Chain A
Amino acid sequence: MWGFILRRIMYMIPTLFLVSITTFIIIQLPPGDYLDTLAAEMGEAGVEDTGAMEVLREQYGLGQPMHVQYYKWMKAILLHGDFGLSFEKNRPVGDLIWNRLGWTFGISILTLLFIWATALPIGIYSAVRKYSAGDYIATFFGFIGLAIPNFLLALVMMYISFKYFGQSVGGLVSPEYLDAPWTWDKYVDLFKHIWMPIVVVGTSGAAALIRIMRANLLDELYRPYVVTARAKGMSEFQLLLRYPVRVALNPFVSTIGWILPTLVSGEIIVAVVMNLPTTGPLLLRALLVQDMYLAGSLILIVSMLTVLGTLISDLLLAWIDPKDSLPMTAITKNPAIDEDGIATPEILGPWTLIWRKFRRHRLAMFSLWIVGLIYLVAALGEFLTPMDPHDTSVRHTFQPPQSLGLIVHEPDGGWRFQLHASAKKMELNRELRRRTFVDDPDSFVPLGFFVKGHEYKLLGLVSSRTHLFGPTNPRDRAHLLGADRLGRDILSRIIVGTRVSMSIGLVGVAVSLVIGVILGGISGYYGGWADNLIQRLIEFIRSVPTIPLWMGLAAAIPLDWPPLRTYFVVTIIVSMIGWTSLAREVRGKFLSLRSEDFITAARLDGLADREIILKHMVPSFSSHIIASLTLAVPLMILAETSLSFLGIGLQPPQISWGTLLKEAQNVRTIIEAPWLLWSPGVAIVIAVLALNFLGDGLRDAADPNAH
């Protein structure tokens, strides 16, 4: 036991070392350095001073080779606790970050408590009252939490809170309390504000925990030892808590260590939106201006705490006896023989059984249709758009959505059927000193099907001008979901953005699949030093918190790269983290299968390793892997959305749901033009929800032990 602890601590040291090197490299990746940014900004302001630049460069040691800079930095940290100087703010990094770190971790821990307090009871209830109304509601809300990107939820909540409750938005305390001493009133004000970031960051964590708890508990609820407890005369509630819940909780204890960095990571984006005094906004700014030591120190500290968290969770795991899930046994097809002429029911193969189980899960079937529909939209692309997504119009900037109508009234009092969009005209509102749009009852925009519109290439191959739906007169403009700040049609942009967002998910998952299965398989099947090496690699990658890592990598993408190349690099970045969980899962399955009797039998029969893996092991867990992949796609989509929202990764004029949301980045914009937020937001939520339900349904169907 102590030897184990000692060994884990020993492993930590090279990991931390590697983390620090990687952090430093990431910070250095973008071409140029802080002084270049400063020069650019000064140049814009019309100031010129190249001499001072050289002096500064010398002073900060920026001209020296990388390893020298790294060495100086690490030396300062380890020997003096000096994390360097922030170029931009001209203050020691230590001063800037400690206060913010305190808030970050304070909020994260409170969020952790919130998650546990809500998710565990809901998860337990969901499992015990499976398929009841309560279960569906809880699952649904859980999924909503999972599907809505953190920042989107933050924006929505801020909007609601401002519009309907008049609460000041942004920051942790109201403006009047900012510099005031800590009175009781100030605490009350703090609580009024702090619940929002906690709930926002916590919902996705709670959603994941609910699902896991439900699944774990369902695994245990029907086991023999529960029957024994019942046969002893225990009440249902008592035996629930003392036996299956306790067993189902085990895997959780080991995840405590991982949750903390996830919270810190997730909180970063939300903090940017909500203007919280935590590390997030500081890190984003530092990355964008290449304030090297500040960004590096932040990432380093957060990573260190992650590694510590991993250590804690591994130690806790060492206390526990993990339960391996049972592998799937293949049921072979037999012809129905019966001499007495009595028909026997069919014996079905495993995939048939999975499909039948899946079909009964109505929500999952429905989601399958929705996902198919979304991919169809992605494929058909511009055939479905009523307008040209890139076409700007000065007269239509920020136009609100136009409503659809069927009946048109003639001037002489009659009416006829004509699909149309109500027209809006622009007016100058003298009170608000702005342009506003009002309904124009005297005109309308006729719409039709299979109309001629702007030119595009269907599936990238065939040129066409026909669109499924749109204004009958190609010169008309109909904005059914409103227009953005350049007058471009939001509906058309969302449709076109579907392709990019959904395909990043697929491609990312494909990359993760290949890497994850290969590495996980080698690790699990062969064990030994290969396993060790791969596990260390996985641990190292997981130690660096995802958001800062993505931000760092994405910020390194030169802005002048062609969009396609940027797209692929963003995909690779996003899948780089994804493969680690897949690899771990594959490894786990291989490990548990390796000791199964049927594998030993296969080996004794003389099968080669490759045959054993392909013919016997892979079919046993392929259904689980499929389910995992389906669940990974929405995560990739959310990742791309988050990155684009922050302004790194995909850039406008590339259209993706993330870049669309970037337009709705601050609350002021949303209050004036809420459709900028709602439309892409709803699209994302629907897609992610459908994929999640689908994946969940697949996983339930593939599990042979599910009741």
Chain B
Amino acid sequence: MQFIESIRHLVGTIIEQFPIVFPALNEGFLQTLKLFVITLVGALPLGLIISFGSMAKFKPISLITRVLVWIVRGSPLMLQLMIIYYLPGLVGRNIWGGGEQGRFIAACIAFILNYACYFSEIYRGGIQGVPVGQQEAGQVLGMTKKQVFFKVTLLQMVKRIVPPMSNEIITLVKDTSLARIIALQEVIWAGSAFMKSSHGIQGQIWPLFFTGVYYLAFCGILTLLFGYIERKLSYFE
């Protein structure tokens, strides 16, 4: 009985506070979305460049690239965020400024670098997974190396990498919450602000739990989108 009573109380509180909490969370989620989109726009092409680097025939380049990938993949993103944001100021001059914009730019750079390294390995797998016979067939048909890459390899790579890429991109949605370590005010930050006091509401935990709805909805949309892309790319079968 007490349980039912407390649920009723909670629902009442949520209904009452929702008009205040909802816009605040939306504002936070906008930051999450911005970070997500900018990371993708930066990391998708950069990842391809890094994958070329790690596949380069010229040994020093491939070695150096692989070391970079090892460092970035081998250390926590949270640590990378803190190093990128705080280190310049600690050793010399703070290049980011203290405001929200500087924190956002620093977060974007950390996320782009981090995700480009993960993407590069997916690209590498996709490119190396295309059977050699395909390239040979292209050569036999008199295509140049460039033509073989863009018209034969790249095309088949794209459809191979959709499942692992969608996995990584969905992880990115949730990883954006790590940016709060450098005080980027994304949706989790906005939600947990209500645990202390924010917008005149004190000591409420439900807004933080409610942020989960945003992630679920957004990941749901992405899942549908990737399913659609996969179906569109299912030619040759």
Report if A and B associate in a common complex.
Answer: no
